[in-house]
Structure 1
Amino acid sequence: MGTKLPCTGSHEGSGTVVAVGSSVKNFQAGDRVMAGIIYHPCGTCGDCRGPETFTQYCTNAAYCGVKDADGYFAEYARIDSRWAAKLPDKVSFETAAPLSCAGCTVYKGVLLAGLKKGEWLALVGSGGGLGHLGVQFAKALGLNVVGVDARGEGLDLTRKGGADLVVDARKGDEAVVKEVKKVTNGEGVAATVNISDAKTAAATSCAITRMHGTVVQVAQPDNVTIPFQELIFRDIRLRGSLICSAQEANDMLQLVAKHNISVNVNAFKGLGEMEKLIELAESGKMKGKGIVIMDQSQIDTEGNGVV
């Protein structure tokens, strides 16, 4: 993404405010916050102006840990108050950090599906770092959920998240479609969120979605490949999604607190364990999200019931 070095990595963070700028009115020292990836949005482009349900991201902004702004692998980090969110008392730092991007991203995908309570939503890649959150968000919003994954670890997390139907993608598209149609009156789900970057994942997402249904593409492979029959003969509506707005992030945190939504975290203490985190992430065996704890004392304070 054009990252210029040196740049402190990590675009997902949470912590305690130690100081605020003179223009900041909505936060004060001592606030527990989820830090956003966006830094210094322009405030004038279409996405900055809104409306909330339409915004994607400011193309003129810097991005913490990614482009033109340092991230959260640090003892202190500078964040933009317009893209930060206060943490409800019930939401821990360890839960909040992965929510700041992974959570915001899949939450937006679920919202864009545009479904009502009781309708069927599928998530392809349901057992990954984003997917296992998406399953829980969808259930909390009253949806029936199909989880599709191709890893044993991912299928386990999908079940843990409460999916109504869990399907192993390794069985092949024909078998996956058959299982999905069994629980959806032979039609397929009303909408699918694709979080898998596997070459066939987008096609699978369309195949399990009913005619005139919606597929929200969240995964970012080099190319998204879909058979023309899905788009033309079955009128599948495809749309892309990246991240939710600041207000939607606050709404997400309230949902997390209300429904006790959990993030399956793999915690490492300090930057000295970064290599272990990378090895786990690249092994394909990680369950959920990896985090680095920069200040153990804040975690200990939460554990003692002090927030």
Structure 2
Amino acid sequence: MAEIPKVQTVALVREIGGPVEFPTDYPVPTPGNNEVLAKILYTGVCLSDLHTKDAVAAGPDGIPITRFKLPHIGGHEGVGRIVGLGPGCGSDLSLGTLVGIRFASRVCRRCEYCLAGTEQYCLKGTNHLHHEDGSFQEYIALDADYLTILPDDVDPKVMAPVLCAGITAYKGVLGANIRAGHWLAVIGAGGGLGHMAVQYAKVLGAQVIGIDAPDKRDFVLGLGATEFVDFVNTDPVQRVREITGLGAHSAVVTAGSTKAFSHACEMLRTGGTLSCVGMPPGTAKFETPICAIVIKALKIVGSVVGSMSELMEAVELTRRGLVRPQIQVRPFKDLPHVYEEMEKGTLKGRIVLEVSSS
């Protein structure tokens, strides 16, 4: 194992809304009690990283999130290898083990949510998006008791997006309550989250209607979608009703657009389920009339990432080749350009940054 340096290159944001800088003298963390040090190989880029950097994300009460670490290192879908063990680590951990860097960084393991296997809602939990340095750096310290240990036979650059986009999409599809043969509409089907939701839904037996801009038609159909709806040149609600007759059984919204959620409700048949995954920036509100929800007996569920158990299910589906993240690998320092493309909405699939090749 190579000697661990004292300093490293990181993607640093010094102030809210500030530019991304790449200092080369940021300290490499020393793993504390029951922590491991991992060298990051690849990391995906999530829209929530951009929103957090620019302080346009909102908490559950609609108040913008401002209580996060500054200077800020984002990134929460990374893959790396253990290069150091802190005191107290168990004998089951060894150098060279492939590990994931997830949204959730630490949980209490004692509260009602943790005990129920829904630890992503732990009120004492911390995450790599707001509270701790994330995967936009060469080395990272991770909690050994909440460590995502990955199979050693996976491709780390392909697996990286599963750590956030994958588990988020998978959890959203599970929340849609689909059965084999059901019609499921995925809004934002060509994006980083959506293209994985299409595939997870297919694995679970759904007939998928992918909805996105016209230039993503071939991409979405190539993922296995049964139908594609162009929301720019057609009325997506009318088209979904034409395809399904009564309307879709379920819809998963992965787009960060308020209008998309209203359209999704209108696409649903009576008794349908809307699974909310994408988060519009700021304090966007639901536009669907309450009477429509009541009369159609709609079920609306929110979904944010997933538990460790659900993550490993998503990992296994990718490991077996049933779900294939569509990625573009870019150099680490392309992060500012990736953010610009995200703002324009031009990306297909997921961007993965190469932090280190070995």
In the alignment, structure 2 segments of 5+ residues that lack a partner are 1-64
Q: Report whether the alignment pairs 1:200 with 2:259.
A: yes
Q: Report whether the alignment pairs 1:61 with 2:121.
A: no
**2:238 maps to which of 160, 170, 178:** 178
Cα displacement string for residues 40-78 of structure 1 (whole angstroms, at most 9, x for unaligned residues): 21122222111x3x55422321211x2221101111112
Residue 19 and residue 117 in structure 1: after superposition, are their counterparts in 2 closer, same or farther (change >3 A)? farther
1:233 deviates by 1.6
| Structure 1 CA distance for aligned equivalents of residues 216 and 68 of structure 2 | 31
1:213 deviates by 1.1
Aligned twin of 2:196: 133
| Structure 2 CA distance for aligned equivalents of residues 24 and 155 of structure 1 | 49
| Structure 2 CA distance for aligned equivalents of residues 24 and 160 of structure 1 | 44
Structure 2 counterparts to residues 111-190 of structure 1, below 5 A: 111-149=174-212, 151-172=213-234, 175-184=235-244, 186-190=245-249
Aligned with 1:79: secondary structure?
strand
| Structure 2 CA distance for aligned equivalents of residues 237 and 17 of structure 1 | 43
Equivalent residues, number: 289
In the alignment, structure 1 segments of 5+ residues that lack a partner are 299-307
Name which of structure 1's ranges 162-171 and 74-83 shifts more when overlaid on structure 2.
74-83
Structure 2 counterparts to residues 31-42 of structure 1, below 5 A: 31-42=97-108
Residue 145 and residue 19 in structure 1: after superposition, are their counterparts in 2 closer, same or farther (change >3 A)? same
Aligned with 2:83: secondary structure?
coil
Give the structure with the larger helix fraction.
1
| Structure 1 CA distance for aligned equivalents of residues 340 and 232 of structure 2 | 25
Residue 252 and residue 285 in structure 1: after superposition, are their counterparts in 2 closer, same or farther (change >3 A)? same
Aligned twin of 2:19: none
Cα displacement string for residues 254-291 of structure 1 (whole angstroms, at most 9, x for unaligned residues): 111223422222222233x3333223222321112222
Cα displacement string for residues 230-270 of structure 1 (whole angstroms, at most 9, x for unaligned residues): 30221111111101100110011111122342222222223
| Structure 1 CA distance for aligned equivalents of residues 322 and 144 of structure 2 | 26
Contact 2:203/2:322, CA 8 A, preserved across alignment? no
Aligned with 2:210: secondary structure?
strand
Q: Which amino acid aligns with 1:44?
A: R
1:13 deviates by 0.6
Q: Report whether the alignment pairs 1:13 with 2:78.
A: yes
Aligned with 1:200: secondary structure?
helix
Residue 24 and residue 134 in structure 1: after superposition, are their counterparts in 2 closer, same or farther (change >3 A)? farther
TM-score, length of structure 1 as denominator length: 0.86
Residue 158 and residue 83 in structure 1: after superposition, are their counterparts in 2 closer, same or farther (change >3 A)? farther
Cα displacement string for residues 285-305 of structure 1 (whole angstroms, at most 9, x for unaligned residues): 111222221112x3xxxxxxx
**1:73 maps to which of 124, 131, 136:** 136
Cα displacement string for residues 19-55 of structure 1 (whole angstroms, at most 9, x for unaligned residues): 33424465432222222221221122222111x3x55
Aligned twin of 1:283: 344
TM-score, length of structure 2 as denominator length: 0.75
Identity among equivalent positions (%) equals: 31
| Structure 2 CA distance for aligned equivalents of residues 238 and 18 of structure 1 | 44
Contact 2:109/2:119, CA 8 A, preserved across alignment? no
**1:252 maps to which of 314, 338, 342:** 314
Aligned twin of 1:219: 278
Aligned with 2:121: secondary structure?
coil
Contact 2:191/2:349, CA 8 A, preserved across alignment? yes
Q: Which amino acid aligns with 2:102?
A: G
Residue 80 and residue 190 in structure 1: after superposition, are their counterparts in 2 closer, same or farther (change >3 A)? farther
**2:111 maps to which of 42, 45, 51:** 45
